[in-house]
Structure 1
Amino acid sequence: MSEHTLRLRAVTTAGTGTEERPAAQPAARRDSFFDNAKYLAVVLVAIGHAWEPLRDGSRTVSALYMVVYAFHMPAFIIVSGYFSRSFDASPGRLRRLLTGLALPYVVFETAYTLFTRWTDQEPDRPISLLDPLYLTWFLAALFIWRLTTPLWQRVRWPLPVALVVAMLATLSPSIGNDLDLQRTLQFLPYFVLGLLLRPEHFRLVRRRAVRVVAVPVLAAALAVAYWAVPRMTGAWFYHRDSAAELDAPAWYGPLMTLATFGCSLVLVACFLAWAPGRRAWFTALGAGTLYGYLLHGFVAQGSKFWGWYDPAWVHRPVGALVVTAAAALLVTALCTSPVRRLFRSVVEPEMAWAFRRDGHEQRVVRG
């Protein structure tokens, strides 16, 4: 393969999937720390979905569920924002935006709708690209966030502005379900924060002192969550409803936006502090987290239809442990290379035939 071909591939594949590589990082090089963090985050996503049917019968599971939901998606979104820093709306980046997010959104939105019909969860649900179903909201949100990246990079105070947008969203129940904009706007500050972060910021949270402090902080978070389970709703951490929809006074919305943002950042820092920086057995799986994220939902949703949670033992401590291990093993398997090869055509399609080469790519090919 010629040097010019290699250069062209680097141009056309930058930002594959949900990533846009920082400009300073070579296209062929991956950072083990971020791959490890992404893998661990998607494992927590799958475990959280597996715990959902167990919450009613266990205060402990409910507390764990609340803590996990306080930081696992914020961590995912912050890392996604960090890897979107190089998005400049160039033809190559826009092409990857369409093939890496828009097309998978259409495919999986359709697939999840048909699946919910088949499992009789929503037998009459129409196929609608404006109302994201289950996990697909993240693809729609990331498409919007990344498309607005150049704007956030030019605003004088991007994070305060993003927080104000999120706070105002909680006051507006009329935003509705179109593209799940309520959740998109409320999670926006985490993406903008990711855009602002630099490698040295991640090195700060990976220091030994932070790892030591993270242990009691996480323990305290679990204790507070256990206390809070019968006293308050954890739905504030889902960021999908306005204050009115949560039966709270309007002024609760902006206040809880700031409170949950602060709590989530502390827990994200604790999570990242313990993410391994060296290559581990699961590091390579970090490149396939989008596959695990999108595909595990079919099992998570189908498990209720298939009656996997019906046996009484599943709702006991040993059952919760089995469910946790099964969810972790499932999403791990879905991140592996064989699964990625099988589903690459719909998760990371190239579709070079559908786009014209821009002037830069043509110059690279001609040399």
Structure 2
Amino acid sequence: MFTAATTPLRTQSPDRTSLPPHRDAFFDNAKYLAILLVAMGHAWEPLKDDSRVLEGAYMFVYAFHMPAFIIVSGYFSRSFDMRPDRLKRLVTGVLVPYLVFETAYSLFKRLADDDPAQPISLLDPWYLTWFLVALFVWRMTTPLWKLIRRPLPVALGVAVLASVTPGVGNDLDLQRILQFLPYFVLGLCLKPEHFRLVRRRSVRIAAVPVFAVAFAVAWWSVPRMNTGWLYHRDSAQELGAPWWCGPVMVVALFGCSVLLTACFFAWVPGRTMWFTALGAGTLYGYLLHGFLTKSGDFYGWYDRAWLHGPLGEVLVTLLAGVAVTLLCTPPVRRVFRCVMEPRMEWAFRRDATEAARARVRA
């Protein structure tokens, strides 16, 4: 999700796993547009109960925005192999931000929500930080998924078993880690030609009626479907459904999410746009916009009646988009780089191979 958007689709050989040093506009564009949808979805949450159309849009967006992020994360994890430099980047770019922001969010809830009982627990991710834990676990298991012969069916099997296992519990949001796992493994299995395939003009045209039908189905589903299925954080029994609904919903939602994600990728621009550079800062936008969203809940910003009408909903949507865009900009990234991309050379032993190379160069 937040890894450098390298690997240009036009030039990379299908079998190549090493990433060139320059970025690819398509993936930066995809990450920016996806984080835009994430922020808008969070902004809609306090308003959606008053509008069936808005709740339908909420369900429609939630069906594919996180799967799209996770698939891209898996795609850029293909070269992860436990090499010391990659482990360092995993620690500094994923684990350290999790430790910092899990603590920061817990303290923020204590103060802003006047909730002194809110625990600071690194084992129980609160709000947005679950994704960092999940990304850490998924990436650490990447060598295993690259080793086995049929990784995607196995990952789907794991997700199905998790959906019927209430005993998984909330530690590290493990239910989400397991139920979203197939999307990450799918990303590991993808090659550049798969992205070229969905970006053809014919697919772009076909995506329009698919999106239209999906939105209509989401609108129809509002009073009929528990939105909790889209969060992938509970088992079927915890959602009040028979156990057999878990496997059915996992497989059905996987198919729907992959289809909608393909349609989303079909419409992502492949050329450099005004927002392309912001794709490098999606980690910042993702983690920081949560403070704004939760402030709206804690301080009663959504209590104003006019916000619950069509004009208010449009305004909230636009403000969410502007806010997350600003949070992805270079000035914000410079301020927060010390906690999101810390160098931390002091914390690691020097790699023996790197030291030998330095001696040869000297």
* 1:286 and 2:283 are equivalent in the alignment: no
Could you tell me how far apart the structure 2 residues matched to 1:319 and 1:20 are? Answer: 35
Match of 1:24 in 2: 18
CA deviation after TM superposition for structure 1 residue 361, in Å: 1.4
Q: Does 1:358 align with 2:351?
A: yes
Q: Residue 248 of structure 2 aligns to which amino acid in structure 1?
A: L
2:98: which partner in 1?
Answer: 105
Among the aligned pairs, what percent are the same residue?
A: 66
**Which ranges of 4 or more aligned residues in structure 1 deviate by more than 4 Å?**
19-22
Work out which of the residue numbers 75, 86, 89 in structure 2 matches 1:96: 89
Cα pair distance change 1:53/1:125, threshold 3 Å: same
Mapping 1:1-367, distance limit 5 Å: 18-19=3-4, 23-27=17-21, 29-120=22-113, 122-366=115-359, 367=361
Unaligned runs of 5+ in 1: 1-14
User: Aligned pairs, how many?
Assistant: 351
Deviation at 1:115, TM superposition (A): 0.6
Deviation string 1:1-57 (CA, Å, 9 cap, x unpaired) is xxxxxxxxxxxxxx9x54596643312x00000000000000000000000001110
Indicate if the aligned counterparts of 1:18 and 1:101 stay in contact, CA closer than 8 A. no
Change (3 A) 1:252 1:122: farther
Q: Distance in 2 between matches of 1:73 and 1:322?
A: 24
Amino acid at match of 2:90: L
* Contact 1:21–1:84 (8 Å) recurs in 2: no
Moved more, 232-241 or 105-114: 232-241
* Contact 2:4–2:23 under 8 Å retained in 1: no
TM-score, scaled relative to structure 1: 0.94
Kindly state the Cα deviation for residue 95 of structure 1 after the two structures are TM-superposed: 0.8
Determine the structure 2 residue equivalent to 1:12.
none
Listed one character per residue, the Cα deviations across residues 146-205 of structure 1 (whole Å, up to 9, x for unaligned) are 000000000110000000000000111111110000000000000000000010000000
Deviations 1:210-242 (A, max 9, x none): 000000100101111111101111221110110
| Structure 1 residues 21 and 36: CA distance shift in structure 2, 3 A | closer
Instruction: Tell me how far apart the structure 1 counterparts of residues 4 and 148 of structure 2 sit (CA, whole Å).
Output: 22
Q: Compute the displacement of 1:121 (Å).
A: 6.2
**Alignment check: 8 A CA contact 1:119 1:302 kept:** yes
Is the Cα contact below 8 Å between 1:21 and 1:86 reproduced in 2?
no
Q: CA deviation at 1:280?
A: 0.2
Q: Give deviations 1:337-360, integer Å, cap 9, x for gaps.
A: 000000000011110121112122
Counterpart residue type for residue 43 of structure 1: L
Q: Which amino acid aligns with 2:318?
A: A
Structure 1: how far apart are the matches of 2:32 and 2:275?
A: 7
Structure 1: how far apart are the matches of 2:291 and 2:250?
Answer: 31
Distance (Å, rounded) in 2 between the aligned partners of 1:159 and 1:181: 19
One-letter identity of the residue aligned with 1:278: R
Shift in CA distance, 20/42, structure 1 to aligned 2, threshold 3 Å = closer
The answer as to whether partners of 2:102 and 2:125 remain within 8 angstroms in 1 is yes
Paired AA for residue 193 in structure 2: E
On the 8 A contact 2:5/2:27 being kept in 1, the answer is no
- 1:211 partner letter: R
The answer on whether the counterparts of 1:170 and 1:254 sit within 8 Å (CA) in structure 2 is yes
Structure 2 unaligned blocks of 5 or more: 8-16
8 Å contact 1:20–1:87 — kept in the other structure?
A: no
d(CA) in 1 for partners of 2:52 and 2:342?
43
- Deviation larger for 91-100 or 114-123: 114-123
CA contact (8 A) 2:4 2:280 kept: no
Partners of 2:352 and 2:54 in 1: CA distance: 55
> Take 1:92 and 1:159, find their aligned partners in 2: how far apart are those partners?
27
Would the alpha carbon gap of residues 183 and 122 (structure 1) be closer, same or farther in structure 2, given more than 3 Å must change? Answer: farther
Residues 90 and 136, structure 2, Cα contact 8 Å, conserved in 1: yes
Q: Give me the whole-angstrom Cα distance separating, in 2, the residues matched to 1:163 and 1:77.
A: 15
Residue aligning to 2:11: none
Alpha-carbon deviation of 1:104? 0.6
> Following TM superposition, by how much is the alpha carbon of 1:306 offset from its aligned partner in structure 2, in angstroms?
1.9
